[in-house]
Structure 1
Amino acid sequence: MVYRAGLRLVFAGIAAGALYSASASAETIDVNAREAILVDMNTNTVLFEKNADEHMPTSSMSKMITIYEVFKRLKAGKLSMDDKLPVSEKAWRMQGSKMFVELGNSIRVEDLIRGVLIQSGNDATVVLAEGIAGSEDAFADLLNKDAAELGMKNSHFMNASGWPDPDHYSTARDLSILAMALIRQFPEYFHFFSEPEYTYHGIRQRNRNPLLFEGIGADGMKTGHTEIAGYGLTATVQRDGRRLMMVMNGLLSERARAEEPAKLIEWGFREFKIINPFKPGAPVGTAKVWMGKQDEVPLVAAQDVALTVRRGSLDDIAAKIVLQEPVPAPITAGQPMGTLVISAKDMPDHEIPVVAGTDVEKLGAIGRMFFSLKQMVQGLI
């Protein structure tokens, strides 16, 4: 049978002591965006979402997946910062935001990356796409492959820049997945997202991310705007080792793109905190043993347990162990036993593997005989 056990004093003692926090009531919030999501990257916890799985035109926020493909090739040694890529007439004629590449010139990959991430150049994006895949259509196939591998289930890309196309779309959730992958997989290249300005061809342009200049700890990621999409921003802020990731789209003005994301991020830092109720190897409970030299085996957490919870909501945290019980001996320390499920108010359940804390030997022949007899007697009583 499946055994579901409360953690009793093990969890309660931690919550009452080291995890104490003020009991202020948590605020709710709404934002003037059509789509939005806020994620605590440390624990992969969604703190806020609004139409987060709705298909939406992503405009220049799509350039993040173009840069993902570029960074992937740089890391694999298939491309270098000093490689020069030629500027085609298609790239040179691109409209909208531009790096102002010169027709027939060849441009270093490092300059093109800055042209994409700082200047949001549609022209620079096409130069990268054609230089890597031969054509923008072929490059879009690579982007869709990347999206599938990342688990971006509701995205489809028709071009490298986010140029409007009815079959080019993503979601707030998918863009947050992409942005977090960029940070985790390519930390050595992440600095490009936070550079405040770039000058190319004698033209100096400022990074379009408004949060970079607000002194709130923002260090990336990418803006977007088209008439149909509205104003969008994917942004990340890090404070004291904690990082929040936010995506908004469908905002009505540049001012709203600066104010609404800052409001949501401040709310996330203010209203939530990270707790660590269990460390690896910490006892979380016990399980009954079948035909073992001990009647019970201690259970320990298999990994560090970090949770994002509402401030002041520790009284609403509950925990249980789910496993098949009794567990037949012999048992080896570290053997997977079941799952620790921690629930907090208004938050998704958090599941952590639990393992045996010690070895338990199997009873010998005589011991097993007495064990069976004991079970028979207890069954008759």
Structure 2
Amino acid sequence: MTLSRFAAALALGFVATGPALAGASLVIDASSGSVISSENATQAWRPASTTKMMTIYLALKAVREGRIGVETAIPVSKLAASQPRVKVYARAGQEITLDNALRIMMVKSANDIAYVVAEGVGGDVPTFVGMMNAEAQRLGMRDTYFANPNGWDHPDQQTSARDLAILAMALMHDFPQYSDYWNTSAVQLGKQVMQNTNGLVGRYPGIGGMKTGFTCASGFNVVATATRGGKTLIAVVLGSVSGVERTVKAAQLLDEGFGSWGGAGYTVASMSPSGT
């Protein structure tokens, strides 16, 4: 399937039910951080489950530093089991390895499993959230504040397209050997097969995966990366009105980015923060 036909095929199933939100988007070169296109990229936005990109970043950092292993079994707490949908209904007292937890969290976007990871890595959720915000500051995510490890809506929790692109770059550059976590089309839990929430995975040529998110306050968000002709791009789309729309827009932005001969003349790191 050609790239234009890919977007068209998805769009056939999409009927707009109202005016689009004033969303945000950004496309950058993953190797240099050069901005290719930008729309409201530093506007403060609710991250929804793209928050889990920071959760997996800290988990992989802990693995690299020897503080936890991918085969470490983590017990499910009552707090984790009580998290709202989307979830896999893990039971309190059950154990799950970090490896399985990360796969389920990134493919299914399970809110209960994000808390399992946070408690396994940080000891407790408040400590882990403090780690999330410290890491965001270290990476230069100046528009970001995290309130929980799964992205469930919170009035203080915010990010921007710029900051999510920076986080995606950090994941790709620091942990390339773990890219399968964010580019798996499906994962099996018992008899249940869970499909990736990212509509580009397994369908868009050269897709490298990454993460979706949705709450009513955020709209439909996606961070996606793809490679063509030795060039890797990161696209961020925030505030779409449906999962199909965010997928189509991300595919179109990637198409346009690969077809572009130049950029905007500045990098994602040099973009000014929103100040909100």
Fold shared, TM-score > 0.5 on shorter chain = yes
Q: Give the Cα–Cα distance (whole angstroms) in 2 for the partners of residues 46 and 132 of structure 1.
A: 33
Q: Partner of 2:6 in structure 1?
A: none
SS in 1 for 2:150: coil
**24, 49, 53: which one pairs with 1:35?**
24
The reply to whether residue 87 of structure 1 matches residue 41 of structure 2 is no
1:54 aligns with 2:43: yes
The equivalences for 1:278-317 within 5 A come to: 309=262
Looking at structure 2, the residues matched to 224 and 194 of structure 1 have their Cα atoms a distance apart, in angstroms, of 15
Residue equivalent to 2:65? 76
Comparing both chains, which one has the higher relative contact order based on Cα–Cα distances under 8 Å and sequence gaps of 6 or more? 2
Q: 1:139 aligns with which of 128, 137, 142?
A: 128
Say whether residues 1:268 and 2:257 are aligned partners.
Answer: yes
SS at match of 1:164: coil
Q: Where does residue 266 of structure 2 map in the other structure?
A: 348
Question: Match of 1:153?
Answer: 142
| Secondary structure of 1:97's aligned partner | coil
1:33–1:214 Cα change, 3 Å: farther
| Correspondent of 2:187 among 195, 198, 210 | 198
Secondary structure of the equivalent of 2:210? strand
SS at match of 1:211: coil
Cα distance in 1 for residues equivalent to 2:148 and 2:210: 20
Instruction: Give unpaired runs (5+ residues) of structure 2.
Output: 1-19, 268-276
Mapped to 2, the partners of 1:136 and 1:126 lie a distance apart of 7
Aligned residue among 37, 48, 55 for 1:66:
55
RMSD, aligned CA: 1.6
Deviation for aligned residue 1:204: 1.3
Deviations 1:61-112 (A, max 9, x none): 0000000000101111111011011101111121121133222111101000
In the TM superposition, residue 221 of structure 1 has moved relative to its aligned partner by 0.3
The residue number in structure 2 matching 1:221 is: 210
- Give the structure 2 partner of residue 111 of structure 1: 100
Contact 1:33 1:249 in 2 (8 A): no
State the secondary structure of the residue aligned to 1:137: helix
Separation of aligned partners in 1, 2:164 and 2:253: 17
Q: Map Cα deviations across residues 5-52 of structure 1 (whole Å, 9 max, x no partner).
A: xxxxxxxxxxxxxxxxxxxxxxxxxx9760111001233210111111
| 3-state secondary structure, aligned to 2:224 | strand
Taking structure 1 as the reference length, the TM-score comes to 0.63
1:101 aligns to what?
90
Q: 2:178 aligns with which of 180, 184, 189?
A: 189
Amino-acid identity (%): 31
Whole-Å separation in 1 of the counterparts to 2:21 and 2:254: 14
- State which structure, 1 or 2, has the greater radius of gyration over its C-alpha atoms: 1
The amino acid that maps onto 1:252 is V
Aligned partner (choices 249, 252, 257) of residue 241 of structure 2: 252
Query: Greater share of strand residues, 1 or 2?
Result: 1
Unaligned runs of 5+ in 1: 1-30, 273-308, 311-345, 350-381
Residue 240 to residue 93, structure 1, CA distance change in 2 (3 Å): same
Query: Could you tell me whether the CA contact under 8 Å between 1:33 and 1:248 is conserved in 2?
Result: no
Aligned match of 1:164 in 149, 153, 165?
Answer: 153
After superposition, the C-alpha distances for 1:324-365 in whole angstroms (9 at most, x for unaligned) are: xxxxxxxxxxxxxxxxxxxxxx5239xxxxxxxxxxxxxxxx
Residue identity opposite 1:348 in structure 2: Y
